[in-house]
Structure 1
Amino acid sequence: MSDKNTSKPLVLVDGSSYLFRAFYALPSSLTSPDGMQTNAIHGVLNMLDRLRKDYQPDHMAVIFDAKGKTFRNDMFPEYKATRPPMPDELRDQIEPLHKIIEAQGYPMIVMPGVEADDVIGTMSKLYDGDVIISTGDKDMAQLVDDQISLINTMSNSFHDRAGVIEKYGVPPERIRDYLALMGDKVDNIPGVPKVGPKTAVKWLTEYDSLEAIMQNADKFGGKIGENLRESLEFLPLSYELVTIKCDLELDVSPEYLSFNEENKQLLAELYQKYGFRTRLSNLQSTSDTPIQLKPEAVGSNSDSEEIGIPEIEEIKEVDYQTILTEEQLDSWIADLKDSKLFAFDTETTSLAYMDARVVGMSFCIKAGTAAYLPLAHDYVGVPQQLNFDATLAKLKPLLVDPTILKVGQNLKYDRSVLLNHDIELKGIAHDTMLESYVLDSVSNRHDMDTLCEKHLGHINVKFEDVAGKGKKQLTFNQIQIDDVVQESDDPDVEATVTRGAAYYAAEDADMTLRLHNFFWPQLKPRQSQEKLYREIEVPLLKVLSDIERNGVLVNAEMLAKQSEELTVRMKELEQDIYESAGGEFNLGSPKQIQEIFFNEDKLNLPVIRKTPKGQPSTAEDVLQELAEEHDVPRWLLEHRGLSKLKSTYTDKLPLEINPQTGRVHTSYHQAVAATGRLSSSNPNLQNIPVRNAEGRRIRQSFVAPEGFKILAADYSQIELRIMAHLSGDDGLVEAFSQGKDIHRATAAEIFEVGLDDVQTEQRRAAKAVNFGLIYGMSAFGLAKQLKVSRTEAAEYVTKYFKRYPGVKHYMEDTREKAKEDGYVETLFGRRLYLPEINAKNAMRRQYAERTAINAPMQGTAADIIKVAMIGVNDWLREGTSNTTMIMQVHDELVFEVAEDEIEAVQSKIIERMVNAAKLDVPLVVDTGLGINWDEAH
């Protein structure tokens, strides 16, 4: 052993942990010149660079899991058995990453039969000095002691012994007890059912150890006590499974983990092969000897610089101010007016935008410097705040000035809240949520906390950190403005700081500006995406805000009556089901449904399909197939449908009527669906059924006020029209251009009959083919839908492609281009990445191929209606009409129109919707009028 190293720590890197996290955190669009995904390699290499720069260690190693089973599988064969297989796109990156790491000179360890955790555990305990373990794995917290600490470079978090206690609620020596109690679904480690972190901490606080908890298991009451007693048999095994081995026989002592000399020639070849342009350039510029490379490959594809990813601004010290005086306010207003762009955020009393009132605002002009302006905090002992009304009046000119540019995160909400105070936020130049969404719509999380952790490596102060959780959670006006510093009686223990409202709010503004500085350099050079963002997504923000605030009238009495009728019908169905089944059972329990449906002594229905565990499946499609021949599954499906309608709409809609406006105000979500389609919640307007009587009755409760009518304007067959345009197929273009019934025309071709001789069933089959093909339906799926043989369905498809060859060519070309580019685009430049388009797994690859064909059509349809909404809204805001836009649902816009201006308004709306895009076929808009939505649809 060497003398204790007191200056530089040993750095041990959990390579496997970062490999997975980088793969899922970084864009799948990072690829090598030959199309191989390289995002995980990028992430791990960047993390290693940062560690080496921050700690400048003499001793360091990168440890990865080896292939194959470990001693834990011998202990428990089901260990990690439920984990999904590693994606091919990640597996393909492992060997190249290992080669690059070794060529860079890092000691790398891959030890068969054990996990990386065990190698790290043994190394850390053997080393005579300070150890930094770089990992994102919570299991490693058990290793922490006075010399061993954890750092997570992806979240910028550091944990010593005190940090572990603060984060987990238990000391490092109790982490194994804590983990064993909870179990691990990912690794298939059994724990105590329903025991989560809070319960585990509570039990360990009271009994100190897992052993003591097990010895006192008979003292635990209720269901959780039963769960504990039923788990006693497995808890010792769980404890062993989560225990990191620290006594392995290693081939190398940690003191000998020194860096090797870089193999620059090999490194250059690897950087070139996998498209790391910046690394290659830096290597060439610093190399003492010439590096020989194949000239044709230099400068190809996708280093992070190629897609415009900037250097992340390092977060060091920040200057977060609290504005409590007129002098401070005036100074900030002057600076905000002079700025080219400032970040802006509101803190409010509620998430419900129609009810929320401003509590305070935060601003940021320069990353790292931000301010919070508290205006309506009202807890006991709150410091003197500036006058609410006078301050808003002073800020209003700044906020309504369209020439003073603002950036925010989900500014639709802030705009709506300010309108509650008669301030219309203008000058909305950027929204970081939308920037993220346009850059990568496949990532379905675009909230600030996720974006900061993913792209900036920064963990924000969470709302729960300052407001608490559950029933005791405070509203923002009740949160203390200043940080709370709690000194320790122990002079060796640092004081703890609980962040207050000012820090939380200022950080939001600061991080918003940092996110914009990260996203905008990537988005700006991409002309089509930048135009989509600037001309559609950002303007649409204001349109959606207007529609939300307009709201829609809902007849609560009609819904209450329907709820009563649904209750009666559901009870009738329950009685029919119980009588046929020979007794009552839980209609929501798959296990009990299995027992009733498939037991020889019960209904003895045929088993259509089995679950992975070998049980008869009760999935929706299985029940639908059974319902064709048997009453009970048909009644069960009807009961489920009615139950969902009742709980989601007839019971809930009346509760969502705003008492101030008397209307229901939904929330539209711009940054959710990968294809660009809008979604809505509270209530979800997209899912109200239109094909059954119960759904139509719900739509009948959406009514027009006196003197008005509901006008519904719906694009006719828009995705098929887009298919005609994209494919350029002469037959499709001609049919739409001549105003033919496209399904009848297709039926005439498939069934070889005259247009006038097409039967209803033939048209229905043709419709299924038309829509099925654009959604990637196979002949098997078509046969199932039409209830014909697979051969007959395949013949329909063959005849379709023979009649419309341009469609087939489009599909083939689109698949190939998607495989080359890794994405597809709409007519407006919306890009949908397809990380699995080249997957080795056939099922996943085929799904990506179907998505590649459908996404440009569905996405273009979404873009078109967004353009139409902007155009119609611009016209409505001119103020020449009493019409208001009240809903957007799929391809339909819904309006309230004054009865005396219906004709003029109808023509204006149709005109703007028809002209939202120029296609090779005409866009057609169908309209309807009525006293309610159903009548107008």
Structure 2
Amino acid sequence: MPKTSPKAATKPVAVKAPAKGDHVFLVDGSSYIFRAYHALPPLNRKSDGLQVNAVLGFCNMLWKLLRDMPPDNRPTHLAIVFDKSEITFRNKLYPDYKAHRPPAPDDLIPQFALIREAVRAFDLPCLEQGGFEADDLIATYAREAGERGATTTIVSSDKDLMQLVTDKVTMYDTMKDRRIGIPEVIEKFGVPPDKVVEVQALAGDSTDNVPGVPGIGVKTAAQLIAEYGDLETLLKHAGEIKQPKRREALIGNAEKARISRQLVLLDDKVKLDVPLADLAVHEPDARKLIAFLKAMEFSTLTRRVAEYSQIDPSDVEADEKNASGASGKSAGSSPPPPRAAEGDLFGDQAPPGSANGKGRASAVGKEGKPDRSNVVLTPHALAAARAEAARKTPVDRNKYQTIRSLDQLNAWIARVHDVGYFAIEAKANSIDPMQAEMSGIALALAPNDACYVPLAHKASGDGAGLFAAGLAPDQIRAADALEALRPLLESAGILKIGFNIKFNAVMLAQHGITLQNHDDAQLMSYALDAGRNSHALDALSERWLGHAIISHGELTGSGKGKLAFDQVAIDRATAYSAEDADVILRLWQVLKPRLVAERMATVYETLERPLISVLARMERRGISIDRQVLSRLSADFAQTAARVEAEIQEIAGEPVNVGSPKQIGDILFGKMGLPGGTKTKTGAWSTTAQVLDDLAEQGHDLPKKILEWRQVSKLKSTYTDALPTYVHPQTHRVHTTYALAATTTGRLSSNEPNLQNIPVRTEDGRKIRRAFIAFPGHKLVSADYSQIELRLLAEIADIPVLKQAFKDGLDIHAMTASEMFGVPIKDMPGEVRRRAKAINFGIIYGISAFGLANQLGIAREEASAYIKKYFERFPGIRAYMDATRDFCRSHGYVETLFGRKCHYPDIKASNASIRSFNERAAINARLQGTAADIIRRAMTRMEDALAEKKLSAQMLLQVHDELIFEVPDDEVAATLPVVQHVMQDAPFPAVLLSVPLHVDARAAVNWDEAH
């Protein structure tokens, strides 16, 4: 009796229009036939010698799309699109279109019909329409899918289809297993997809006999389109082209270029014979498919389909229509050429060490049959299921345990070994992990299966609420508990799940324990939702679990009666701490599948998680400071502040407390009546830095003086007065703490103390940096990316002139000045270069004419003219800014070159000021975020690179685009090139920049001299 299976039966075709979350696959069948034929070695059917290499390649490709694609990347709708051998509208427009194409090879021609039969055997739509090419049908289906919120994958590598690529449409080359998105199109054509048609119109295509403009290739065409925007604008200004041959070619062949554009532009408005909804994927008739494959004698693929369908192939007869002899060839014809092994084609042969040819083992269910119960559980479905389950599982604090003995702790440790992962949350009596005492450790294995191990809670005293010197009873000695936990914490085979787990890593390192193999739920949230939501534990718990956790304030109180954590009663500490561990584990379960579903796993795994250990080591190393330098600076700043305060009193015309925002607001907007005043919710005038900056840009003296006073006062209070108080009593160094999840762009932030806000472009800021010194016998090395954001602007906006200038090592500001003002670079006046520099950097941050005028000390009208001229000279920058702003408005985020998403949900705010701020931030975020990603990659590689060269340099600080190292005097010369090499090559191989990165690295006894 033949085996039966639900998968063996024919299922009715499901008619379902694509919707958001669906994935439409459109296979360029005509193109693929030729690629398969030329890419694969000859393969002949044994029985009659018929060549079938293209048929097998096609069948393997279809099986891969239907069954072997990752679950989150499988088609919900799929069609194979062919060219119909008829005259199309393009031939009527240009009779010589495709006129010179050679005929198909003789041994390929019989395979055309068999490939169409293969498509029918897979029960897939086989589409073709008279008067249109396959590319036009693909364009139309892709447009319709996008309008319905679905994503589209075009299975092809044909350059003519690259004009269709968007953030929702990608191409996929199955032969090379390569995705073609916007970056790949830019790499090939030098322009984004929406400009590909313009480049093709100029460059032409000899294969399809598209004329183009003689003498203009893709590279030149890309440069021209980048400068002029589109073909028509270029042709209108062709007479202005400086190169005579190029100018004449454009003028003389303008009509050919216009026709070429019509030829290459795909028609996405075809009236389709087969509706998009009819492309919905469904199970084919497995017996019919096996019958076809047996007729073709594809034994390996026949076996795979039979195993999947649980059908005995011996019970299925070969399809007579396509079997040997049906093609008209005799079985006794001449012997076929040497035959390639079928299993070696298109990945049909399993690679060494894999279980099923795809690098993953097949699950086995009852009776040894493959278990496919979760086949439909895509990453999106899994993420949704996890989120739903998390909300439906209430938090029950009554189930938490307090672990008071080593035996109890060892029992928990044994359970961890069985599970293989656990959540951990160490509690301390201070927010400084370098000096904190560990009060206890919370662990969680599953929802509501959590415990707290108190280690150093103090015993309560008499009824007055005082605390005795001793510890509360029934606690494990901290050293014993940590020693018992050490094998777990240092195991590379057991996953530790935390929330801001770097704090735990630093604190455990103080006890000699190196935390290995960890995940961080907070960083997962950050990788997914940077700029969109808060990443605090309480906010995430509310959002994903619908649960309000116990707040720290509820536990410790506030004001004079506030308790340190080790003063909290153990039962209350258990409820609070175990709940944290429980919630962390639940959040991890919810967020982990989202990383895969939303394609952010690479961002988390390469840019976030590896940096945890690197930063933990940097924080523990710290840096030395010179207290005497700081003391002298404090005195100087105090004198400066007093002088500026006197000047403020004089301008105001009355005594004023400069530190009182209310008094300042009343004088600026009440007494003086300056424009732009807004009030806060309390009714007081707003005097934020932005408000004062705007007024200062307009030329008002009082706001300038207030800003100056605030700046010097902040330097004194935040740095020169405060830094000595951060010196660690044992290391005698200052240890900052880095936050990975604090900014929208991926930049790190530094706090307690903040070493990233020391102004580097002011003399006062540089004086503070002189107080950071090297350990005796060492030097501080500062390695700084030179103009990285300008380089990335040239790269991402694709500005040929700027790119070439960076490649040639030119002075970019002098080059810009020369381009804008027509001044020769040689002997250029410093003032001209300074203006270009201010514009170069200002453009990145969306500087206004007000701001530029104030910075350069020129009239606003002149500054406005400079900005206008800058955009006219470099139109690609304006195009980049507009495109980035528009993309962010449509999607709510922008993306770095490494795939990090920076969300700006307020970019469509009704408040014009908020909207403008978000627009500027989004435009800059692609540059700043990419720069942040690059230095993160450098940091994760740096320690291994130094160790490989047997160098003992220590990475101490990261300040935006700069890394600071402490290096023994005798290793400085050997260390500098290693550091530069790692930093300059940090983007590779993930991103191949055409603009070179440059790193300046110098050594000195203090930070200022090294920078």
* Same fold? TM cut 0.5: yes
Task: Name which one, 1 or 2, has greater alpha-carbon Rg.
Answer: 2
CA RMSD of aligned residues (A): 3.5
Please state if 1:355 is matched with 2:435: yes
Q: Secondary structure at the residue paired with 1:906?
A: helix
Q: Secondary structure at the residue paired with 2:400?
A: strand
8 Å contact from structure 2 (residues 782, 964) kept in 1: yes
Q: Secondary structure at the residue paired with 1:379?
A: strand
CA distance in 2, matches of 1:421, 1:617: 48
- Aligned AA for 1:551? G
| 1:522 shift after superposition | 1.0
Percent of residue pairs identical: 43
Q: Aligned ranges for residues 503-518 of structure 1 at < 5 Å?
A: 503-518=575-590
Distance 1:356 1:878, change over 3 A: farther
Of 619, 626, 629, the match for 1:548: 619
8 Å contact from structure 1 (residues 715, 892) kept in 2: yes
CA distance in 2, matches of 1:899, 1:445: 45
Please state if 1:928 is matched with 2:998: no
Q: Aligned ranges for residues 884-903 of structure 1 at < 5 Å?
A: 884-903=954-973
Of 393, 405, 412, the match for 1:325: 405
1:859 aligned partner? 929
- Aligned AA for 1:315? P
CA distance in 2, matches of 1:579, 1:782: 28
Count the aligned residue pairs.
631
CA distance in 1, matches of 2:648, 2:912: 41
Please state if 1:449 is matched with 2:523: no
1:645 aligned partner? 715
CA distance in 1, matches of 2:443, 2:880: 49
| 1:479 shift after superposition | 2.3
Contiguous gaps of at least 5 residues in structure 2: 1-18, 22-145, 152-274, 282-377, 461-470
2:498 aligned partner? 408
Distance 1:656 1:769, change over 3 A: same
| 1:619 shift after superposition | 6.1
Please state if 1:823 is matched with 2:900: no
Distance 1:692 1:372, change over 3 A: same
Distance 1:891 1:710, change over 3 A: same
Of 344, 356, 367, the match for 2:447: 367
8 Å contact from structure 1 (residues 276, 303) kept in 2: no
Distance 1:799 1:677, change over 3 A: same
Distance 1:911 1:331, change over 3 A: same
CA distance in 2, matches of 1:415, 1:504: 21
8 Å contact from structure 2 (residues 429, 438) kept in 1: yes
Of 548, 552, 559, the match for 1:463: 552
8 Å contact from structure 2 (residues 379, 596) kept in 1: no
**How far does the alpha carbon of each residue in 1:550-590 deviate from its partner, in whole angstroms, 9 at most, with x for none?**
11111112212221222233334444554666653322234
Distance 1:631 1:616, change over 3 A: same
Q: Aligned ranges for residues 559-708 of structure 1 at < 5 Å?
A: 559-578=630-649, 584-593=655-664, 607-611=674-678, 635-708=705-778
CA distance in 2, matches of 1:345, 1:612: 43
- Aligned AA for 1:406? K
Distance 1:351 1:458, change over 3 A: same
Please state if 1:310 is matched with 2:380: no
8 Å contact from structure 2 (residues 459, 473) kept in 1: no
Q: Aligned ranges for residues 51-130 of structure 1 at < 5 Å?
A: none
CA distance in 1, matches of 2:591, 2:775: 44
Q: Secondary structure at the residue paired with 1:442?
A: coil
| 1:620 shift after superposition | 5.0
CA distance in 1, matches of 2:705, 2:919: 37
8 Å contact from structure 1 (residues 743, 767) kept in 2: yes
- Aligned AA for 1:514? R
- Aligned AA for 1:928? R
- Aligned AA for 1:607? L
Q: Secondary structure at the residue paired with 1:895?
A: strand
Q: Secondary structure at the residue paired with 1:852?
A: helix
Deviates more, 1:665-674 or 1:833-842: 833-842
CA distance in 2, matches of 1:739, 1:769: 20
1:849 aligned partner? 919
1:519 aligned partner? 591
8 Å contact from structure 2 (residues 380, 597) kept in 1: no
1:909 aligned partner? 979
Q: Secondary structure at the residue paired with 1:426?
A: coil
Of 815, 835, 846, the match for 2:905: 835
Q: Aligned ranges for residues 370-389 of structure 1 at < 5 Å?
A: 370-380=450-460, 382-389=472-479
Distance 1:684 1:326, change over 3 A: closer
Distance 1:299 1:332, change over 3 A: farther
| 1:871 shift after superposition | 1.0
| 1:694 shift after superposition | 2.0
Distance 1:831 1:581, change over 3 A: closer
Q: Secondary structure at the residue paired with 1:361?
A: strand
8 Å contact from structure 1 (residues 725, 920) kept in 2: yes
8 Å contact from structure 2 (residues 523, 604) kept in 1: yes
**How far does the alpha carbon of each residue in 1:98-149 deviate from its partner, in whole angstroms, 9 at most, with x for none?**
xxxxxxxxxxxxxxxxxxxxxxxxxxxxxxxxxxxxxxxxxxxxxxxxxxxx
- TM-score w.r.t. the length of structure 1 is 0.62
1:28 aligned partner? none
Q: Secondary structure at the residue paired with 1:425?
A: coil
- Aligned AA for 1:350? S
| 1:731 shift after superposition | 0.9
| 1:698 shift after superposition | 1.1
Please state if 1:477 is matched with 2:477: no
2:574 aligned partner? 502
Q: Aligned ranges for residues 692-731 of structure 1 at < 5 Å?
A: 692-731=762-801
- Aligned AA for 1:437? Y
Distance 1:693 1:323, change over 3 A: same
CA distance in 2, matches of 1:595, 1:845: 27
Q: Secondary structure at the residue paired with 1:929?
A: strand
Distance 1:450 1:420, change over 3 A: same
CA distance in 2, matches of 1:861, 1:747: 25
8 Å contact from structure 2 (residues 395, 547) kept in 1: no
Distance 1:506 1:633, change over 3 A: closer
8 Å contact from structure 1 (residues 731, 803) kept in 2: no
Q: Secondary structure at the residue paired with 2:894?
A: strand
- Aligned AA for 2:565? F
Q: Aligned ranges for residues 329-344 of structure 1 at < 5 Å?
A: 329-344=409-424
| 1:361 shift after superposition | 1.4
Distance 1:730 1:522, change over 3 A: same
8 Å contact from structure 2 (residues 697, 850) kept in 1: no
- Aligned AA for 2:791? R
1:874 aligned partner? 944
- Aligned AA for 1:585? V
Q: Secondary structure at the residue paired with 2:784?
A: strand
CA distance in 2, matches of 1:912, 1:569: 42
Please state if 1:742 is matched with 2:821: no
Distance 1:475 1:744, change over 3 A: same
Q: Secondary structure at the residue paired with 1:310?
A: helix
Q: Aligned ranges for residues 151-170 of structure 1 at < 5 Å?
A: none
CA distance in 1, matches of 2:690, 2:593: 46
Q: Secondary structure at the residue paired with 1:801?
A: helix
| 1:680 shift after superposition | 0.8
- Aligned AA for 1:311? E
**How far does the alpha carbon of each residue in 1:44-79 deviate from its partner, in whole angstroms, 9 at most, with x for none?**
xxxxxxxxxxxxxxxxxxxxxxxxxxxxxxxxxxxx
CA distance in 2, matches of 1:571, 1:822: 46
2:131 aligned partner? none
8 Å contact from structure 1 (residues 598, 616) kept in 2: yes
Q: Aligned ranges for residues 2-13 of structure 1 at < 5 Å?
A: none
8 Å contact from structure 1 (residues 33, 273) kept in 2: no
| 1:296 shift after superposition | 6.0
CA distance in 1, matches of 2:278, 2:731: 64
